[in-house]
Structure 1
Amino acid sequence: MKQIAVVGAGKIGSTIALMLAETGDYAVVLADRDAAQLERAEKHEAIATRAVDIADEGALRDLLSGAYAVLSAAPFHLTTAIAEAAAKTGTHYLDLTEDVASTRRVKELARESRSALIPQCGLAPGFISIMASDLASRFDTLDTVRLRVGALPQYPSNALNYNLTWSTDGVINEYIEPCEAIVDGRLTQVPAMEEREEFSLDGVAYEAFNTSGGLGTLCETLEGRVRTLNYRTIRYPGHAAIMKVLLNDLGLRHRRDVLKDLLEHSLPTTPQDVVIVFATVTGQKGGRLTQETHAHKIYSGLVAGLPHSAIQITTAAGICTVLDLLAAGALPQAGFVRQEEIALKDFLANRFGQRYAARAA
């Protein structure tokens, strides 16, 4: 039984711990500095809890002592500290971060690491890159790759048409930081919240706009091979306009703590959500310009007999699948591992990845 440390006992971290624990193959230590958060987490005989201040390097190293891997479900600004401790202790490291700067630091650490450092193992970044890489591999040459992902309430009931479904810090970071894209064959940065578009799926109208981090390392991987590559977050129409008022007109992009407080005290969370994955690839196949599209929805469900939201399930299943593949020797055991190096068929065949398989085409 492999010992796993999961850092962050919020909605995603506790779901990861529960998914791993119920297999019987992993013993989990769920760590968080907030004792009340640990108390709220679902209980399981294979899950131990520990109060740990990530800022305390000694306590962090002690947490990793003897662990096969550490999985970070902590806020993005804490990921580099966890990665640095993992590199020093030779512990395999996996995270969910969408933060571009954090991933660059993980990549630097991986150059001399004797363990595997695998960032961005969730939904987007994460599964979306695995799926995009598989779609792209079916073409002789590529022209355009467009990726759209959203975690939305099934029943929106406010002007933002939104409920909090995961990390508020993460959402704000996505809405503010520059976004990587490939435009006219060149890797560049485009502004967040811009290039808004509308589309419909199953008769429902959506909007999508640039957000940061969703592509992971895919731009680096496909640079020179594709004319256009972009990622946009899906929301219901009207969301972007109100958020731009808050961020730009009221200047809350410079007061993230105030914006976080407003959102968390004004928008309720909801377990009744839906995750939408929509990807389109265009290119040459057999001498003809061809397009392939992958679109599906994932809804809330049960984990260990307990109800969990769609974003909890998809995000936790992503990182748990990568851990399983790493433990089985199907991934490199040292250095930096990109999501697009993971074969889609291996991902979907995995016991955790099957959470996606029923709806993936």
Structure 2
Amino acid sequence: MKKITVIGAGKIGAIVADFLHATRDYAVTLVDRDAAHLSGLDLHSAIERCVIDIAQDGLGNALDGQFAVLSAAPFHLTETVAKAAAAAGVHYLDLTEDVASTRAVRKLAEGARTAFIPQCGLAPGFVSIAAHDIAQRFESVDTIRLRVGALPRFPANALGYNLTWSTDGLINEYIEPCEAIVDGKRALVLAMDGYETLGVDGVAYEAFNTSGGLGSLCETYDGQVRELNYRTMRYPGHRDLMKVLLSDLRLSERRHILHDIFTHALPTTTQDVVVVFVTVSGQRDGRLQQETFARTIHAREFLGAHRTAIALTTAGALCATLDLLAEGAIPQEGFVRQEDIALASFLGNRFGQVYGRE
């Protein structure tokens, strides 16, 4: 039984701990700074709970003897956890979407004897695995387009949105610059730009640039494609209202106020849906062809409890990556890209199966 430490007992971290414990293959310790929150979680008593404020005290000796540490902490703590993993000589995995944090993890991975695998969630994460798998079937690739939406099934406000995951992460991806490849060259494009409309399974969506969803794909496909981009999917009208808040009211400069507005006014929901839409076009058999990977994943029962779609896809992806690491199916040291994970292996995993056709 491998010892695992999960950092952050928020919406996803607690579910990751629950998933891993349910396998009986991992001994799980869940770390958070909030003692009352930790003790109030409805988790199996065998999951050890440890109160540490890593922003103030670091992790100290908490990682001694562990196989891996999984960070589900806020993105601004990513580097702190990664440094502790490097010092302890344990494998490191995270869910961050923050580009700067991932660069810091990559630097720590140089010469490491353990694996550093950032961005193991939905996007970045699974979408990179799917896109890379499709791209390998072409003789040459022209465009790679990744579109992902984490949405309420029953939108009931003007934004067409409910909180389903990290509010800080949501705000960050709406504001920070976005990596892309444009006309064959790597570029930074503005968040909220690149507006388009699309339909999946008869439902109309809009999509626009958001930060962090490409992971390391820009580096992997630099000089190989004409166009590569990631856009978040929302119900029509969301982007324009967000631009009023972020630009016209300048709340992009006062993120704490935007955070308070969201948490006060937008309810959470357990009735959500995740839409994945990855399209690759390129040359195959002497002509330009296109191939698409599409999934619509709903909240449902999994491992004995109701799980939201965002929990299934995010926690499931992180746990699947850990499983593959433990099995030796992916590199065991240094910086590991999501593209280094085979789609067939991922979908065949007990957690990766949540991305299968329902």
TM, length-normalised to structure 1: 0.97
Matched, 1:180 2:199: no
1:40–1:314 Cα change, 3 Å: farther
Contact 1:87 1:114 in 2 (8 A): no
Assess if the C-alpha contact under 8 Å between 2:163 and 2:267 holds in 1.
yes
1:40-119 pair list within 5 angstroms: 40-58=40-58, 60-119=59-118
**How far apart are the structure 1 equivalents of 2:299 and 2:153?**
10
After the TM superposition, which residues 199-214 of structure 1 pair with which residues of structure 2 at under 5 Å, given as runs?
199-214=198-213
Q: Contact 2:295 / 2:357 at 8 angstroms: preserved in 1?
A: no
User: Could you tell which deviates more after superposition, 146-155 or 30-39?
Assistant: 30-39
Question: Which residue in 2 is equivalent to 1:15?
Answer: 15
Q: Provide the residue aligned with 2:2 in structure 1.
A: 2
Whether the 8 Å CA contact 1:131–1:344 is kept in 2: the answer is yes
Structure 2 CA distance for aligned equivalents of residues 146 and 308 of structure 1: 28
> Is 1:335 paired with 2:334?
yes
Match of 2:157 in 1: 158
Aligned to 2:269: 270
Tell me how far apart the structure 2 counterparts of residues 36 and 260 of structure 1 sit (CA, whole Å): 22
Counterpart of 1:304 in structure 2: which amino acid? L
Q: What residue identity is the alignment partner of 2:67? A: Y
Which residue does the alignment assign to 1:305? 304
> What SS class does the counterpart of residue 20 from structure 1 fall into?
helix
- Give the aligned residue type for 2:5: A
Q: Structure 1 residue 62: deviation in Å? A: 2.0
Quick check: 1:39 aligned with 2:44?
no
Matches within 5 A, 1:120-269: 120-269=119-268
Whole-angstrom CA distance in 2 between matches of 1:40 and 1:338:
36
Q: Is the 8 A contact 2:346 2:352 kept in 1?
A: yes
Asked if the contact 1:26–1:46 (Cα under 8 Å) also holds between the matched residues in 2, the reply is no
> What CA RMSD, in Å, does the superposition of the two structures yield over aligned residues?
1.0
Q: CA deviation at 1:40?
A: 3.5
Amino acid at match of 1:125: P
Number of residue-to-residue matches in the alignment: 358
TM-score (norm 2): 0.98
Q: Which residue does the alignment assign to 1:345?
A: 344
**Residue 306 of structure 1, CA deviation:** 1.4
Structure 2 equivalent of residue 289 of structure 1: 288
Deviation at 1:20, TM superposition (A): 0.4
Letter paired with 2:23: T
Instruction: Identify the range of structure 1 (76-85 vs 325-334) with the bigger mean alpha-carbon deviation.
Output: 325-334
SS at match of 2:262: helix
SS in 2 for 1:160: coil
Aligned mates of 1:133, 1:215 — CA distance in 2:
11
Structure 2: which 5+ runs fail to align?
none
Determine the C-alpha separation between the residues in 2 that align with 1:209 and 1:260.
21
The answer to whether the 8 A contact 1:91-1:115 is kept is: yes
Q: Does the 8 A contact of 2:6 with 2:29 survive in 1?
A: yes
- Give me the whole-angstrom Cα distance separating, in 2, the residues matched to 1:302 and 1:203: 25
Amino acid at match of 2:292: T
User: Is the CA contact (8 Å cut-off) linking 2:97 and 2:215 kept in structure 1?
Assistant: yes
In structure 1, what is the Cα distance between the partners aligned to 2:128 and 2:297? 17
Query: For structure 1, which runs of at least 5 residues remain unmatched after alignment?
Result: none
Shift of 1:57: 4.4
How much has 1:56 moved relative to structure 2?
3.7
- Greater CA drift, 110-119 or 272-281: 110-119
